Each structure stands twice: as structure tokens, then as C-alpha cells.
């Protein structure tokens, strides 16, 4: 493993420039709900645990989590998405207002159900909380043509004033290939980079600058198995770069860190920052794309942006639930340990 002490100073300067940036987030706004109950006894009605309710929290998830991470990194965030006229939607709006985000890009619609992922966690006093079950509430249908047009108009107006456009596509219809294509063709985005996180349909997008898929998403997209072989990782990354005509690509590999591609240099293998004994991976991909997008918008190279995304990802997986990384935490991590790469 090779460490690069001098590069840490360059990365610090990039992080310190984040408050000068403005980034538009076009994404599926998700409410992540966590309900914690203390194990009381086994039910007489069925062989299940009875939990005594202790705590409930609702935090931004999905595209809302990417926006939240950008805000905590000091970036000026312009979110674009849809929420329903329901409690989870109102809580997301309240959260965004608290972070002083512009709200005109968040559409509120009575016919829409805010995507809500409810995780039930169980445990005893002073023990680790274990997720027991997750319940997802989703809209019955994709946004109608009126909402889709409003999303496009909001994204177009915001992107003009932005240093980057982050697209967070969880498959719920607020960040579709069609909307992004219209933005590219009619939105006059100029040289604004578009960074994509799409769970199910990466190859349907065109004109994307960079993408940050995880390894299972790459395998599902390309119909192959990567495994432990470096050559297969490189082959898959190069294939994705070519098919999507990307300038930058980061493939996250869980405990194996991430690999950065830019088409001009050899792929860079970056080991995970911190411990591989993670606490919770919920929302870690949102943290990665937030840090990566902010760094690219600040003028970082692909490798520099990937290094910062790797630090951010390593920090956030040590936190419980859907969490964020602050600019101060990122700077502290850089002081703790210089960036590293694995030679091949």
C-alpha cells in the first residue's frame, strides 16, 4: 500500500473550497424512518418479538440524503424532487429548511406518496440495535406529465446557477433518463458536469460526465461477475466508461474500497479508509456521490475526488442509520491519515 502525504494538502484545499460551490440535486426524495423498540417478550399471538416503543426518527434518504450530505460538507445545495402532502414529506421539507436549502425546486403534490422506508430496530438496553424488518411505502405511479415538466423546469433554472448537477435515481420517477436528456438538449447546461447515481438503469442515460455505481450494480448492468480478480474490475470499469462515454467513473467495492477510472490514466485502486468492521452501510452511496461531486465541481481530478469520496464513505459507515459527513470530519480524517493507493 502506497501513502501520499503531499496529496493530503491538496485535498484539504479542495475541501476548504466547498462553501464556494453550488450544486443542484435532481433526485428521488426519500424519507428514512427508524423506529426503535426495546425487546419486551415473545408474543402469544405468533412467534414474534414484542417491542416496547422507545424512539422514532425520520431523516432524509435517497436523493434527499445526497443533498443533506452536500449541505453538511458546506456546499450550497439546490434540491429538485417531489414529496407528497403527508407527514414524511412535511418532515423532509422541515429538514431542508433547517439546513437553509432553497425550497422552490421541491414539488409538493397531493396525489403523490412520499417514498418512505421504515426500518424497525430491536435491542435491549445498552446493546446494539438490530434491524428486524423494513417496510417501504411508495407512490402508486410515476409522476404525471405535469410534475415531470415542473421537475425539468426547476432543474434547468437551478443548474444554470450551479457548478455541478447530481442525479440521484432510485427508480421512483423524479430523476429519469428522459428528464436528464431534455436538460442536456434544451437546458443549455454548457460545461456543467453531470454526476449520476442510478440503481437500475445506468446505461439508459447519455451525456453523463461521471458515475459512482457500486460493484453489484455494475455486475447487474453488464451481466457479469467481478469477484476478487483485479483484471475483471478493470475490464468492467473500462466497458462502462466506453458504453456511457464517461469522463470519470468510481466503482465502490464495500470493504475493498473503490476503484477510480478517468480514461487517461491507469485505474487507481483505493483501499477503504478506517475500519472494515462497519456499523451501518445505510445511505453510504449517497455520501460517496456527494463528496465525489463536490470535489469534481471544485476542480479535483478523478483520483482526488475518489480519495475524498473514500474518506467520506469510510467515516459514514461507522455511524448508525442514514448519516452524513461534515467538512470538519473530512479535514480531520485528512490530518489523521494521508491518502493511500494499492499498486497493481
Instruction: Give catalytic residue positions.
Output: 286
Interatomic CA distance for residues 157 and 173, integer angstroms: 19
User: How much is the CA Rg of the chain, to the nearest whole Å?
Assistant: 20
Residues in the chain: 344
Compute the Cα dihedral for 84, 85, 91, 92 and give only its sign: positive
Q: Where are the alpha helices (DSSP H) in the chain?
A: 5-16, 63-72, 87-98, 145-159, 177-186, 215-222, 230-244, 284-297, 302-316, 327-336
Backbone angles phi and psi of 204, in degrees to 5: -80, -10
Dihedral angle computed from the Cα positions of residues 287, 293, 298 and 300, in that order, rounded to the nearest 10 degrees? 100
- Strands 258-261 and 268-270, how do they pair? antiparallel
Other beta carbons within 10 Å of 155 = 28
Place of cell 421537475: 151
Backbone angles phi and psi of 203, in degrees to 5: -70, -10
Interatomic CA distance for residues 332 and 344, integer angstroms: 29
Interatomic CA distance for residues 59 and 325, integer angstroms: 14
Compute the Cα dihedral for 187, 189, 190, 195 and give only its sign: negative
- Here the cell at position 117 is 422506508
- Strands 22-27 and 164-169, how do they pair? parallel
Backbone angles phi and psi of 65, in degrees to 5: -70, -40
3-state SS, residue 194: strand
CA 169 to chain CA centroid, Å, is: 10
Amino acid at each position: 500500500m502506497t501513502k501520499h502525504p503531499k496529496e493530503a494538502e491538496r485535498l484539504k484545499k479542495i475541501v476548504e473550497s466547498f462553501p464556494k460551490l453550488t450544486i443542484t440535486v435532481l433526485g428521488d426524495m426519500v424519507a428514512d424512518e427508524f423506529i426503535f423498540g426495546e425487546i419486551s417478550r415473545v408474543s402469544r399471538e405468533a412467534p414474534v418479538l414484542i417491542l416496547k416503543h422507545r424512539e422514532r426518527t425520520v431523516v432524509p434518504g435517497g436523493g434527499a440524503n445526497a443533498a443533506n450530505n452536500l449541505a453538511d460538507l458546506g456546499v450550497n445545495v439546490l434540491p429538485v424532487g417531489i414529496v407528497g402532502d403527508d407527514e414524511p414529506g412535511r418532515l423532509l421539507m422541515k429538514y431542508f429548511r433547517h439546513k437553509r436549502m432553497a425550497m422552490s425546486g421541491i414539488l409538493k403534490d397531493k396525489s403523490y406518496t412520499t417514498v418512505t422506508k421504515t426500518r424497525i430496530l430491536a435491542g435491549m438496553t445498552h446493546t446494539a440495535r438490530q434491524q428486524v424488518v423494513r417496510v417501504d411505502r411508495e407512490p402508486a405511479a410515476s409522476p404525471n406529465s405535469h410534475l415531470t415538466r415542473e421537475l425539468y423546469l426547476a432543474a434547468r433554472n437551478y443548474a444554470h446557477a450551479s457548478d455541478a448537477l447530481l442525479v440521484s435515481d432510485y427508480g421512483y420517477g423524479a430523476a429519469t433518463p428522459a428528464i436528464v436528456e431534455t436538460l442536456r438538449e434544451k437546458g443549455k447546461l454548457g460545461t456543467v458536469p453531470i454526476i449520476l447515481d442510478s440503481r437500475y438503469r445506468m446505461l439508459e442515460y447519455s451525456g453523463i460526465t461521471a458515475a459512482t455505481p457500486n460493484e453489484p450494480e455494475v455486475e447487474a448492468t453488464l451481466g457479469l461477475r467481478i469477484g476478487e480478480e483485479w483484471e475483471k474490475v478493470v475490464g468492467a470499469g473500462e466497458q462502462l466508461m466506453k458504453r456511457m462515454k464517461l469522463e470519470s467513473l468510481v466503482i465502490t467495492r464495500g470493504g475493498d474500497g473503490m476503484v477510480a477510472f478517468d480514461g487517461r490514466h491507469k485505474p487507481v485502486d483505493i483501499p477503504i479508509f478506517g475500519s472494515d468492521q462497519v456499523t451501518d452501510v445505510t445511505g453510504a452511496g449517497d455520501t460517496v456521490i456527494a463528496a465525489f461531486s463536490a470535489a469534481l465541481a471544485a476542480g479535483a481530478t478523478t483520483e482526488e475526488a475518489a480519495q475524498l469520496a473514500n474518506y467520506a464513505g469510510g467515516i459514514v459507515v461507522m455511524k448508525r442509520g442514514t448519516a452524513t459527513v461534515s467538512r470538519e470530519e473530512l479535514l480531520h480524517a485528512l490530518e489523521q491519515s494521508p491518502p493511500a493507493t494499492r499498486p497493481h
